[in-house]
């Protein structure tokens, strides 16, 4: 973890050394330095919270924040982007993403060259940003290096809220070992997936505590465990509950000691209820939940981070057994959204794309598919301000303190200029290459199709 990106840490060291540090900092890539001010003129604002657009407005971005929003003209020494009455909205947020696992196959993710896989992930990160997703919450995978490279401006990509390695049990979801890897000796050699930091097997509260703390030490903004079976793992039936309550609680204590929270992968009522009993704050998926479990989530204020899985082809990059499990999950999608609405659950949007670049290109289309259950305005609010509220659960571990998912004075400047009104026509977000004319992240323009 480089201290160079935190100028405050320079103070208190001898002046000579400080000047060396400062000159090193000056040679850091562009994004770490200040971008010029940008003035959006004549835009109608979808602010991420309200379905109605603003009157024609002007928005001044300075450094990485929205400095001023006004219906009256703003005069400033700034790059002017004339919106021509188009819609300015917050950058999109995907609350369940796996930056390292989108493009490789399951086999190449585990056995491929690490350098190649990191470059592959960097290419995908640039594409993710160009789809208008300016922030992702990474729910498992060795993303710390990618995140640092993006934050340092070496490569383009979204803000990453990393979980680091998924923590699982022997045979659980995320245990990608083969039978030939058994038996494991506690304290023995790590397997390839563990050395990569993709997932860690833990079979006691002590092991869970150790692995959770290791992720926090590396910069995890939240900790991810798998409380039940999953689609993509070879020895993990969907109905199975994995961690015991004391095991889950060990991770919760470790996370809470760092001011953050645990999210668990859980489809079934048992795995969800056990997670809640252990202090877990966010349930990932939940597609096989029942009415009583949804009511419990509402009573306890537990987040539901779920995905519009409508088609078993989402598992097209996987084998026949996994595709069969995907079909079971898909049957629960209408149920989980109906329960989320019935009990007004705090619901986040994510896509959970794995092992398919083609599916990743449908990230915006997956968001638009929420209109099966929600209005377009509700859909866009979920993928902006509501998802940002979930990101805020990471408290002092939030890697990007500041307001995300809104267009407000003082908020972080992650903005999209849309060629049309996505509240009238949500299909616009299905074709970001054409319809997102400007993409800004952290005050920096990454795309601008408007004539200069």
Which residue's CB comes closest to Zn ion?
Answer: 352
3-state secondary structure of 37: coil
| 131 to 136, 172, 385, 443: CA distances (angstroms) | 12, 33, 18, 17
Encoded one letter per residue, x for contact with Zn ion by CB under 5 A and - for no contact, window 111-140 reads ----------------------------x-
Using CB under 5 A, pick the residue from 151, 352, 414, 430 that binds Zn ion. 352
Q: In angstroms, what is the minimal distance from the CB of 439 to Zn ion? A: 25
Q: Where are the alpha helices (DSSP H) in 317-423?
A: 320-331, 333-342, 357-360, 363-368, 376-381, 387-391
Smaller CB separation from Zn ion, 46 or 309: 309
DSSP of 262-310, one letter per residue?
A: EEEEE-SHHHHHHHHHHT--EEEE-TT--HHHHHHHHHHT-EEEE----
Stretch that binds Zn ion, among 5-13, 128-136, 314-322, 351-359 (CB under 5 A): 351-359
- Contact yes or no for 285/267 (Cβ under 8 A): yes
Smaller CB separation from Zn ion, 83 or 142: 142
Of the candidates 393, 429, 341, which has an alpha carbon nearest to the alpha carbon of residue 92?
Answer: 429
Q: Which of residues 138-177 bind Zn ion (CB under 5 A)?
A: 139
Stretch that binds Zn ion, among 41-49, 221-229, 345-353, 386-394 (CB under 5 A): 345-353
Residue with tokens 């940003």: 129
Q: In angstroms, what is the minimal distance from the CB of 265 to Zn ion? A: 6
Q: In angstroms, what is the minimal distance from the CB of 24 to Zn ion? A: 38
Smaller CB separation from Zn ion, 89 or 266: 266
Q: In angstroms, what is the minimal distance from the CB of 96 to Zn ion? A: 6
Smaller CB separation from Zn ion, 143 or 442: 143
Q: In angstroms, what is the minimal distance from the CB of 98 to Zn ion? A: 6
Rounded to a whole number of angstroms, the CA Rg of the chain reads: 22
Smaller CB separation from Zn ion, 166 or 415: 166
Of the candidates 308, 310, 272, which has an alpha carbon nearest to the alpha carbon of residue 289?
Answer: 272
3-state secondary structure of 48: coil
Smaller CB separation from Zn ion, 64 or 236: 236
- Contact yes or no for 305/287 (Cβ under 8 A): no
What does the alpha-carbon distance between residue 256 and residue 164 come to, in Å, rounded to a whole number?
17
Stretch that binds Zn ion, among 73-81, 344-352, 371-379, 428-436 (CB under 5 A): 344-352
Stretch that binds Zn ion, among 13-21, 317-325, 349-357, 414-422 (CB under 5 A): 349-357
Q: Which of residues 30-89 bind Zn ion (CB under 5 A)?
A: none
Q: In angstroms, what is the minimal distance from the CB of 358 to Zn ion? A: 18
Q: In angstroms, what is the minimal distance from the CB of 359 to Zn ion? A: 13
Smaller CB separation from Zn ion, 59 or 101: 101
Q: Is 78 exposed, middle or buried (0-12, 13-18, 19+ CB in 10 A)?
A: middle
What does the alpha-carbon distance between residue 397 and residue 220 come to, in Å, rounded to a whole number?
7
Q: What angle do CA 183, 188, 191 make, to 5 degrees?
A: 70
Smaller CB separation from Zn ion, 175 or 352: 352
Stretch that binds Zn ion, among 156-164, 273-281, 348-356, 403-411 (CB under 5 A): 348-356
Smaller CB separation from Zn ion, 226 or 379: 226
Q: Which residues bind Zn ion (CB under 5 A)?
A: 139, 352
């Amino acid at each position: 973890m480089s201290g160079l990106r935190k100028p405050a840490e320079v103070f208190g060291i001898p002046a000579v050394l400080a000047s060396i540090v400062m000159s090193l900092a000056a040679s850091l890539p562009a994004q770490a330095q200040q971008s010029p001010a940008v003035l959006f003129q004549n835009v109608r604002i979808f602010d991420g919270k309200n379905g109605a657009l603003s009157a024609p407005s002007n928005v001044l971005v300075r450094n990485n924040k929205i400095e001023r929003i006004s219906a009256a003209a703003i005069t400033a020494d700034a790059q002017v982007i004339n919106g021509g009455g188009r819609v300015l909205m917050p950058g999109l947020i995907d609350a369940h993403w796996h930056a390292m696992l989108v493009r490789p196959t399951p086999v190449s993710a585990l056995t491929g060259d690490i350098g190649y896989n990191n470059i592959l992930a960097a290419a995908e990160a640039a594409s993710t940003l160009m789809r208008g997703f300016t922030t992702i919450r990474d729910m498992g995978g060795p993303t710390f290096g990618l995140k640092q490279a993006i934050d340092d401006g070496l490569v383009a990509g979204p803000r990453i809220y990393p979980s680091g390695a998924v923590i699982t049990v022997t045979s659980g979801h995320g245990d990608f070992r083969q039978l030939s890897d058994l038996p494991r000796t506690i304290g023995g050699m790590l397997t390839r997936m563990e050395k990569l930091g993709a997932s860690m097997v833990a079979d006691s509260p002590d092991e869970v505590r150790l692995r959770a703390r290791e992720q926090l030490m590396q910069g995890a903004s939240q900790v991810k465990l798998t409380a039940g079976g999953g689609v993509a793992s070879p020895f993990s039936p969907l109905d199975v509950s994995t961690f015991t309550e004391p095991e889950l609680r060990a991770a919760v204590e470790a996370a809470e000691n760092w001011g953050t929270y645990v999210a668990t992968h859980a489809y079934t009522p048992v795995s969800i209820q056990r997670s809640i009993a252990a202090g877990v704050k966010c349930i990932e998926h939940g597609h096989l939940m029942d009415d009583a479990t949804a009511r419990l989530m509402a009573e306890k204020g537990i987040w539901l981070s779920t995905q519009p899985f409508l088609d078993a082809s989402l598992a097209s990059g996987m084998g026949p057994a996994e595709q069969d499990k995907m079909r079971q999950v898909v049957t629960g999608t209408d149920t989980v959204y109906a329960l989320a609405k019935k009990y007004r659950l705090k619901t986040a949007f994510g896509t959970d794309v794995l092992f398919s670049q083609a599916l990743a290109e449908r990230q915006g289309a997956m968001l638009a598919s929420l209109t099966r259950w929600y209005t377009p305005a509700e859909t866009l609010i979920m993928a902006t301000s509501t998802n940002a509220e979930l990101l805020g659960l990471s408290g002092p571990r939030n890697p990007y303190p500041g307001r995300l998912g809104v267009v407000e004075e003082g908020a972080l400047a992650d903005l999209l200029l849309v060629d049309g009104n996505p509240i009238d026509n949500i299909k616009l977000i299905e074709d970001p290459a054409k319809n997102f004319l400007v993409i800004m992240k952290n005050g920096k323009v990454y795309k601008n199709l408007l004539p200069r």
